[in-house]
């Protein structure tokens, strides 16, 4: 590393590691200090390339700070402060550490300048965020967490395969830059698949309502803010102008609205509506113009705040009553008036009501569609806005706080305003939603391209108010038809739920039977003859080879005994006689000569 550069993710990671060592009396102050320091760090970073590390032949870039990464880093670190404040009273250190690690991983992706760094933080997001589901501990939460992890693992495999293919290509580098969307490659499509899975693009979306609806009351506030918006950033960086994303985004906007209208669980409703709202952003990336990219970034910024606020409101209801289904709630305005008020602000913001944050961000994407002469996209996105106000602006507050009281006696007794820190977090987030809607330079000044858009025109305001008014009239005229029912809406998760059971049956039955049959065939056709041959060889060895060897050894031992006997008697006598004869011959020869 050429010089030290403090990554805001490092503050959160180290803060999470040290959290168990903090005394109880200092814990709440420490919990607020760490995310505030991370937020201040993102505000203080200058634009440029920092944190370069040489690993083997790779140059990893941990800090690419520019206008695009800065706006996402700003809102994500700010949401970390608000989310931590909301869950300040949570006693589980592990849940706080998991949330901070999750945010740190998202910031790691935002500031990553190369594919390898992006992938490492991308996987850390999935591994850390699943604990925000598991910390609820119920059987449904554990199962949803496993499904969440498996789906994201599959997406990570597609992403890694695309990165490997891309970086092995001729002239390719490890740098994370935009693809040539006019000539997409297999590598590009694999990487795109990994991104759109995290963006919850149908049919790769069912993990989102499945997991977010089962997360802890505090965990869902973090989950709704980071995974999908990090994917939107990655799409803005890698695939601006990819026209395929326009129909996918429009389909998301409509698909999420339909399922949100049908949903009985308030947090699952909000989760489905994440899909709808992210659809606007995905469509904006597909349009690819400066205004469309600005709109995608602005809507991501606004969405993190108002969706976080909505999950805070519904999470407060869950935390105080233990219920999240509309058919188990109702009439809570007497018990939780401030929670109702804050949640209503979130509903008006997401519905793009004038003077609220959604009004100044969502319309920028729709206007970009009209400027590109994609009238069908603009009109369908406007149509999705009707559904947004119908279910999130009207259905959620009405059936929780004003509808018929379906609360059980124990639920009604438990109901009440949440702890002070939860109300304070909702109040601050509400103020930001109103501030962004009223003072547009605060948001527009952070966008990656110069902004030439004015939302508060007489035409836009009157058009929006007409849409909202007719939607409200329709809601109250059809309120009996829209009453929630205790039913389950089948979605794409049916395929992998049933597919998982089918896979287990396939593994236990036909595949196991086939494996057993092959094993038995091998035993009969291969192993039995082999064992017979081994036993026959053993008998031959025992009876023939060992017998011959033993006989030979016996003969050799007998010969040895005979030789030893000869050495002790006859051989020695023969040698004496021989030497005596030779000595006599020598004497005769000497006398004669």
| DSSP output for 127-141 | HHHHHHHHTT-SHHH
Is the CB of residue 509 less than 8 Å from the CB of residue 516? no
Distance CA 353, CA 369 (A): 20
Q: Is 325 helix (H, G, I), strand (E, B) or coil?
A: strand
User: 1 and 66, same structural domain?
Assistant: yes
Band of pLDDT at residue 81, cut at 50, 70 and 90? very high
CB 354 within 8 Å of CB 365:
no
Same domain, 550 and 466: no
Under 8 Å between Cβ of 276 and 260:
yes
Q: Token match 């049908």: residue?
A: 262
**pLDDT surpasses 60 at 110:** yes
Q: Is residue 495 part of a domain?
A: no
Tell me: do 475 and 525 sit in the same domain.
no
CA angle 78/202/112 to nearest 5° reads 40
The residue from 485, 501, 531 where one domain ends is 485
- The partner residues of 114 in beta bridges, in order of sequence, read 175
Please compute, for residue 199, the number of CA atoms within 13 A of its CA located in the half-sphere on the CB side: 30
In a domain, 491, yes or no: no
Q: Which of 301, 285, 237 is nearest to 442 (CA)?
A: 301
Query: Does 204 map to a domain?
Result: no
Question: Per the domain annotation, does 229 fall within a domain?
Answer: no
Rounded Cα–Cα distance for residues 257 and 262 (Å): 9
Q: Cα separation of 223 and 201, whole Å?
A: 16
With a cut of 70, say whether residue 535 has pLDDT above it.
yes
Backbone angles phi, psi at 114, to 5 degrees: -140, 165
Sequence-ordered strand ranges (E) for 9-165: 48-55, 58-65
Residues 481 and 514 in one domain: no
Asked whether residue 276 carries a pLDDT value surpassing 90, the answer given is: yes
Q: According to the model, what pLDDT value does residue 488 have? A: 77
Read off φ and ψ for residue 176, nearest 5 degrees.
Answer: -90, 95
Residue 89 neighbours by CB under 8 Å, 6+ apart: 419, 421, 422
Q: Which of 224-238, 527-541, 576-590 has the lowest mean pLDDT?
A: 576-590
36 and 158 assigned to the same domain? yes
Roughly what angle, to the nearest 10 degrees, separates helices 139-168 and 115-134? 180
Beta strand 58-65 pairing with 48-55? antiparallel
**Together in a domain, 278 and 369:** yes
Residue 1 has pLDDT above 50, yes or no: no
Element (H, E) at 483: none
When comparing pLDDT for 291 and 547, which is higher? 291
Instruction: Supply 250's token pair.
Output: 């429009």
- Give the domain-ending residue among 164, 194, 224: 194
Instruction: Report pLDDT digits (tens) over 488-504.
Output: 777 877 777 777 777 77
CA distance 423 to 321: 16
Instruction: List the domain range (segments joined by +) for residue 78.
Output: 1-194
Judge if 412 and 530 occupy the same domain. no
In a domain, 324, yes or no: yes
Q: Which residues pair with 50 in a beta bridge?
A: 63
Same domain, 529 and 575: yes
Which residue bears the tokens 């969405």? 303
**The total number of structural domains that make up the chain:** 3
pLDDT tier for residue 545 given thresholds of 50, 70 and 90: low
Q: Is residue 477 part of a domain?
A: yes
Is residue 575's pLDDT more than 70?
Answer: no
Of 74, 86, 108, the C-alpha closest to 436 is 74
Nearest one of 199, 392, 385, 191 to 281, comparing CA atoms: 199
User: Above 70 in pLDDT, residue 587?
Assistant: no
Same domain, 473 and 520: no
Residues 471 and 514 in one domain: no
**Do residue 52 and residue 189 come from a single domain?**
yes
Lowest mean per-residue pLDDT among 68-72, 250-254, 327-331: 327-331
At 55 the pLDDT is 85
> Does the pLDDT of residue 111 top 80, yes or no?
yes
Cβ atoms of residues 96 and 35 within 8 Å? no
* 63: β partners: 50
Of the ranges 238-247, 457-466, 471-480, which one carries the lowest mean pLDDT score?
471-480
Domain for residue 211, yes or no?
no
The domain boundary residue, chosen from 134, 165, 194: 194
Based on the number of CB atoms within 10 Å of its own CB, is 255 exposed (0-12), middle (13-18) or buried (19 or more)?
Answer: buried
Q: Does residue 415 share a domain with residue 270? A: yes
pTM: 0.84
For the segment 466-475, the average pLDDT, to the nearest whole number, is 91
pLDDT at 517: 80
223 inside domain: no
Whole-number average pLDDT of the chain: 89
pLDDT of residue 308: 96
Return d(Cα 141, Cα 159) in angstroms, integer: 26
CB-count burial class (<10 Å; 0-12, 13-18, 19+) for 477: exposed
**Residue that has been written with the tokens 């300040």 in this structure:** 88
């Amino acid at each position: 590393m050429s010089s030290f550069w403090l990554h805001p993710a490092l503050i959160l990671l180290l803060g999470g590691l040290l959290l168990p060592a903090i005394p109880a009396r200092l814990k709440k102050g420490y919990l607020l200090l760490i995310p505030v320091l991370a937020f201040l760090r993102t505000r203080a970073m200058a634009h440029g390339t920092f944190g370069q590390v040489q690993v083997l032949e790779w140059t990893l870039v941990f800090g690419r700070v520019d206008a695009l990464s800065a706006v996402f880093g700003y809102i994500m670190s700010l949401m970390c402060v608000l989310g931590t404040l909301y869950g300040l009273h949570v006693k589980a250190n592990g849940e706080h550490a998991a949330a901070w690690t999750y945010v740190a991983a998202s910031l790691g992706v935002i500031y990553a300048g190369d594919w390898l760094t992006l992938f490492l933080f991308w996987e850390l997001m999935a591994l850390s965020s699943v604990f925000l589901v598991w910390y609820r501990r119920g059987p449904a939460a554990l199962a949803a967490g496993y499904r969440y992890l498996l789906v994201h693992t599959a997406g990570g495999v597609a992403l890694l395969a695309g990165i490997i293919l891309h970086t092995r290509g001729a002239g390719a580098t490890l740098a994370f830059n935009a693809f040539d969307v006019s000539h997409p490659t297999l590598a590009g499509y694999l990487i795109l698949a990994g991104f759109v899975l995290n963006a919850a693009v149908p049919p790769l979306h069912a993990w989102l309502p499945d997991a977010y609806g089962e997360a802890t009351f505090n965990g869902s506030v973090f989950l709704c803010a980071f995974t999908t918006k990090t994917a939107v950033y990655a799409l803005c960086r890698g695939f601006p102008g990819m026209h395929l994303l326009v129909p996918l985004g429009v389909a998301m906007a409509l698909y999420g609205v339909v399922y949100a209208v049908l949903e009985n669980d308030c947090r699952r409703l909000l989760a489905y509506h994440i899909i709808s709202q992210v659809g606007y952003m995905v469509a904006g990336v597909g349009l690819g113009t400066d205004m469309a990219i600005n709109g995608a970034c602005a809507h991501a910024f606004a969405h993190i705040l108002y969706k976080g606020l909505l999950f805070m409101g519904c999470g407060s209801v869950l935390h105080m009553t233990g219920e999240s289904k509309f058919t188990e709630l109702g009439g809570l305005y007497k018990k939780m008036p401030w929670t109702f008020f804050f949640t209503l602000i979130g509903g008006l913001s997401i519905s793009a009501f004038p003077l609220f944050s959604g009004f100044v961000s969502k319309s920028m994407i729709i206007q970009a569609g009209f400027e590109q002469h994609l009238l069908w996209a603009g009109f369908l996105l406007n149509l999705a806005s009707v559904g947004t106000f119908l279910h999130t602006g009207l259905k959620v507050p009405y059936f929780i706080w004003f509808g018929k009281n379906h609360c059980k006696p124990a639920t009604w007794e438990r109901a009440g305003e949440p702890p002070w820190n939860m109300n304070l977090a909702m109040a601050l987030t509400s103020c930001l939603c109103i501030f962004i809607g009223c003072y547009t330079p605060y948001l527009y000044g952070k966008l990656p391209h110069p902004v030439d858009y004015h939302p508060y025109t007489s035409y836009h305001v009157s058009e929006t108010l007409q849409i909202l008014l007719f939607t409200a009239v329709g809601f109250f005229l059809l309120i009996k038809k829209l009453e929630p029912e205790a039913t389950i809406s089948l979605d794409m998760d049916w395929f992998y739920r049933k597919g998982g059971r089918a896979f287990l049956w396939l593994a236990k039955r036909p595949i196991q039977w086939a494996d057993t049959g092959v094993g038995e065939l091998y035993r009969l056709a291969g192993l039995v003859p082999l064992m017979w041959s081994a036993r026959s060889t053993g008998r031959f060895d025992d009876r023939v080879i060992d017998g011959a060897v033993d006989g030979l050894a016996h003969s050799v031992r007998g010969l040895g005994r005979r030789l030893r006997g000869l050495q002790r008697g006859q051989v020695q006598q023969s040698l004496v006689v021989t030497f005596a004869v030779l000595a006599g011959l020598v004497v005769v020869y000497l006398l004669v000569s």
